[in-house]
């Protein structure tokens, strides 16, 4: 049976650097945007190499819904500040952004679980759980610590992921 080794060092490095940017970025600044983009590129490369399109599909949903949640939050906060000063708009915006954020991170968790199973690297799954539950608990602020820990675990997971895999003609994935 013919098989070939596939190098995973590029998506590992891109994801690791993206994870660092997410971990040190605060809320949704330029560094966090760069980190999100790098992780999405890593997800795309993994999905192409491993023939698992769901990894990128879930990752892309994460990115889109996270971006929309941030825009909603910014819009409603600005509307509350420059409008009539009503906190109602800010609360509505925050709750909408919170709900979209949970939905976004649920998609990230699914992408990381798929990657964890495929690469046999449980740290991806663990980081997804930390980020998900951190997001859910962020409403009481303690969740921000969970998100931070999850981003650090994600960074480590990318850096210690297998450097190459063995692909057989039957498109089976064997981790090296």
Residue 22 belongs to what domain range? 3-161
Q: What are phi and psi of 52, to 5 degrees?
A: -130, 85
Q: pLDDT tens-digit profile of 117-167?
A: 998 889 999 999 999 999 999 888 888 899 989 999 999 999 998 888 877
Say how far apart CA 118 and CA 124 lie, in whole Å: 10
Domain assignment present for residue 94? The answer is yes
Sheet containing strand 173-175, strands side by side: 3-7, 164-168, 173-175
Using the Cα atoms of residue 129, residue 133, residue 135 and residue 141 in order, give the sign of their dihedral: negative
Residues 25-29, mean pLDDT to the nearest whole number: 64
Q: Which pLDDT score, from 0 to 100, does residue 88 have?
A: 77
Domain assignment present for residue 168? The answer is no
Domain count of the fold of the chain: 1
Say how far apart CA 142 and CA 59 lie, in whole Å: 25
Domain assignment present for residue 39? The answer is yes
Domain assignment present for residue 166? The answer is no
Domain assignment present for residue 113? The answer is yes
The pTM for the full model equals 0.84
């Amino acid at each position: 049976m013919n098989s070939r080794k596939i190098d995973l060092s590029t998506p590992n490095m891109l994801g690791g650097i993206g994870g660092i940017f997410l971990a040190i970025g605060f809320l949704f600044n330029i560094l966090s945007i760069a980190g999100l983009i790098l992780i999405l590129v890593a997800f795309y490369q993994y999905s192409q190499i491993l023939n698992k399109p769901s990894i990128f599909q879930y990752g892309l949903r994460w990115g889109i819904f996270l971006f929309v949640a941030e825009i909603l939050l910014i819009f409603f906060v600005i509307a509350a500040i420059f409008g009539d000063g009503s906190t109602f708009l800010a609360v509505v915006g925050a709750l909408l952004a919170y709900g979209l954020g949970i939905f976004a991170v649920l998609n990230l968790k699914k992408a990381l679980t798929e990657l964890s199973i495929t690469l046999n690297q449980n740290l991806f799954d663990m980081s997804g759980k930390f980020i998900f539950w951190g997001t859910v608990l962020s409403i009481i602020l303690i969740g921000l610590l969970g998100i931070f820990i999850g981003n650090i675990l994600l960074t480590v997971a990318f850096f210690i992921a297998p450097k190459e895999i063995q692909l057989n003609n039957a498109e089976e994935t064997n981790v090296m």
